Amino acid sequence: MNEFEKIVQKNLITVVNYLPNHVDIWNTKLKEISKPLQVLSNQCEQLNHVQNANMKWIENFEEIKCCLLYRISNEIHETLTEIKSTILKLPLQGVRFAEGAESHS
């Protein structure tokens, strides 16, 4: 086996050994993020309904509508911040390959 094949084999073994842990981490994060995603979906639906509401017969309706839109938008921002925080905790570099592998690409 030549040197390049040894490096490839070493890298493959590294990936195979790391993969179960990596999958577990992603599955855990997916479970963590499912609730905030559902909340975000609900908030977007609320925003859509309020934007489309047209009840001119209600006194001060436009003022109430603006207030609701503002509050829902703030909640959406907080939910997106929570989702972003979860995403940023994901391992993006995961596996370190054996030295020398990059020079053969």
What's the pLDDT at 92? 65
| CA–CA gap between residue 63 and residue 51 (Å, rounded) | 12
**pLDDT of 48-77, one tens digit each?**
999 999 988 989 999 999 999 999 999 999
CB-based contacts of 84-87 (< 8 A; 24+ apart in sequence):
86/29, 86/32, 86/33, 86/36, 87/29, 87/33
| CA–CA gap between residue 26 and residue 30 (Å, rounded) | 6
What's the pLDDT at 23? 87
Which residue stretches of the chain have pLDDT < 50?
94-95, 97-105
How many CB atoms lie under 10 A from the CB of residue 90?
Answer: 14
Q: Which two tokens stand for residue 103?
A: 């020079």
What's the pLDDT at 81? 96
Q: What is the amino acid identity at position 73?
A: S
Q: What is the pTM of this model?
A: 0.68
Q: What is the amino acid identity at position 69?
A: L
What's the pLDDT at 56? 86
What's the pLDDT at 104? 45
Let me know: does 69 contact 51? Beta carbons within 8 Å: yes
